[in-house]
Amino acid sequence: MQLSDKIALVTGGARGLGRAIALALAREGCDVVVSDLSPSTQGGVGYALASADELEASAAAVRACGRRSLAVYADVTKADDVERMTTAAVEAMGGLDILIANAGIITAAPVVAMDDALWDRIFAVNVRGVFLCARAAIPHLVSRGGGRIVNVASVAGKTGRAGLSAYCSSKAAVISLTQSLAEELGPAGVAVNALCPGYIKTAMWTEVLNPMIAAMTGIPLDRVFEEFIERSTYTKRAQTPEEIADAALFLCRAENVTGITLSVAGGGEVH
């Protein structure tokens, strides 16, 4: 699919992977609506989520590429919010061709210590959010003759890890949901694929995973990420948001590619 003048919606677009993907799409000629959680509804996962200024900065960065943009606050776990977000995108931009379902959160705890509410919150954002966004976007994609859905999963959805049962299970569910959607929507010209980022030094790592791995392994906290990369990847280096964005562009452009899970992990996940 040619990306010039297409219209994209990116959830979790305030920073990190979401912003990188939004900017990559803009540079290819897309108008991009970016969405993230309202500051008034943040919290509950043990680390700071994106701010209002960051979401507005993402929209401004898209506009600096010469493309139209809109920032929309929405909680992807709430059907009414998702419908409002999608309607706002379509009304402002004139349609929808691409959905990047990127919003996600993480927590770390052994199963015996996992709080029920936190488990449910992980699945609400990471799985229900992807489902609700797809359901809201599909009629608009189909009405324009087809389009693309890219669900951001994780290499954690391919191999479960101790202490990350909720996160790994939720991302495995995203992969399975992607496969189901690909079969459902193939006849309508909508390709659906999952993107599995590997190891990127985001807040998820520095504030959640580093302390957990340090406690499990005895590696000094300030060396956890680097030691993990050295031990776990073929390329011996971390991935970058821009590399993940390049993979997202491929999945948006690619013809006759649907139902796949594309890992970008430097060899850290080869299944």
Report d(CA 58, CA 114) in Å as an integer: 34
Q: Which long-range contacts (CB under 8 A, 24 or more apart) does 137-140 make?
A: 137/9, 137/86, 137/96, 137/99, 138/185, 138/190, 140/86, 140/90, 140/95, 140/96
Q: Read off φ and ψ for residue 101, nearest 5 degrees.
A: -90, 90
Q: What DSSP string runs through 190-255? A: EEEEEEEE----SHIIIIIIHHHHHHHH---GGGHHHHHHHHH-SSSS---HHHHHHHHHHHHH-S
Q: How far apart are CA 64 and CA 83, in angstroms?
A: 28
Catalytic residue among 167, 199, 201, 236: 167
Q: Note if 171 is an active site residue.
A: yes
**Active-site annotation holder among 6, 158, 171, 199:** 171
Q: Does the active-site annotation cover 6?
A: no
Residue 79 and residue 130 in contact, taking contact as beta carbons nearer than 8 Å: no
Q: Residue type for 16, please?
A: G
Report the distance separating Cα 104 and Cα 50, nearest Å: 12
Both structure tokens of 75: 């909680």
Q: Which residues are catalytic?
A: 167, 171
